[in-house]
Amino acid sequence: MTRVVEIPGVVRRHRPRTPAIALVLDSPHSGESYPGDFDHAPPRALVRQAEDTHVARLWRHAPAVGATLIEALFPRAYIDANRSLADLDPELLSDRWPEPIVLSRKTTQGIGLVWRLARDGTPMYGRKLASTEVRARIDRYWRPYHAAVAEALDEVHRTHGAAWHLNCHSMPAIGDARSDDPGRERADFVLGDRDGSTCDPRFTAFVAATLRGLGYRVAVNDPYKGVELVRAHGHPSEDRHSLQVEIKRTLYMDEATLEPHGGYARLERDLAHLVESIAGFIASAPARR
């Protein structure tokens, strides 16, 4: 039986069911528990297009091989756990934000720390948000999620002398008008290591080769290089290795309805095989102490 630690509506930690290995997975965008104060203007069905629906469930077998899985329960559009705290859109606010703001391309697209726009470009709110509202979201959701990921990675690093991290996502099959690859069909998987800076390149190559061996098309750092969580936790010189994994949504679900289709079971089996293979890679990788 999986040992689970949960902050209701915020984060769930699935602990290993077998002896722990130095592997942590996190799913920051698959949350489906919508807070009562999320007064979004577009229909819920449109807002949900921001989710990486089913991603945490797809990786649910990871604890069976000794990995830890951290799952966000809150929705990405409410506050995005894979954004920097400085990645805040001032156009969203009704008053001045008291801390430094560093605009990224995501912010200008309306999908920064707190989303200003829905996936189709529709305004997310019929009003501006007070800075106190945003601060509450950071303190109640963003910080506990990041603390859970950091704690899990620190634990395995202390125990094993190394930490290996998969930051798990899903992506639309075709880039939309606001993406870096508008109109282009994407590979089945996109691996992001921020151009080789967040993990041992051999890890990226191993994951890519394993997925290709299962019959999938794999791209690396195109169009996704990895954002805040791999940036924060990927420090290869300290034997802390973070890799972002994006899965094309049409492999397992209908993008419009978010319902799983016949490909779901195969993908879930293949991801279980991938985690088992990574466990073998980790076991043979020498750690620095």
118-149: per-residue pLDDT in tens? 999 999 999 999 999 999 999 999 999 999 99
Q: Which amino acid is at 214?
A: L
Give, for 25, the enclosing helix (H) or strand (E): strand 23-27
Q: Which two tokens stand for residue 4?
A: 């689970």
63 three-state secondary structure: helix
Please choose, from the candidates 161, 139, 99, 152, the residue with its C-alpha nearest in 3D space to the C-alpha of residue 10.
139
pLDDT score of 4 more than 80: no
State the sign of the Cα–Cα–Cα–Cα dihedral 246, 250, 252, 253. positive
Beta bridge partners of 245: 168, 191
Q: How many CA atoms lie within 13 A of 119 on its CB side?
A: 17
pTM across the whole model: 0.95
Contact by Cβ (8 Å): 152, 211: no
Contacts (Cβ under 8 Å, ≥6 apart) of 174 = 183, 184, 185, 186
Q: Where do the domains of the chain lie?
A: 4-83+137-284
pLDDT score of 288 more than 90: no
Q: Which two tokens stand for residue 195?
A: 């151009």
pLDDT digits (tens, 9 = 90+) for 242-270: 999 999 999 999 999 999 999 999 999 99
Q: How many CA atoms lie within 13 A of 205 on its CB side?
A: 4
Contact by Cβ (8 Å): 72, 28: yes
CA 52 distance to own-chain centroid: 8
159 three-state secondary structure: helix
Over residues 180-194, the mean pLDDT reads 93
CATH number of 4-83+137-284: 3.40.630.40, 3.30.70.20, 3.30.1280.10, 3.40.50.1980?
Answer: 3.40.630.40
Phi-psi category of 66—alpha, beta or left, where left has phi over 0 and alpha has psi -120 to 50?
A: left
pLDDT score of 2 more than 50: no
Please choose, from the candidates 125, 42, 38, the residue with its C-alpha nearest in 3D space to the C-alpha of residue 78.
38
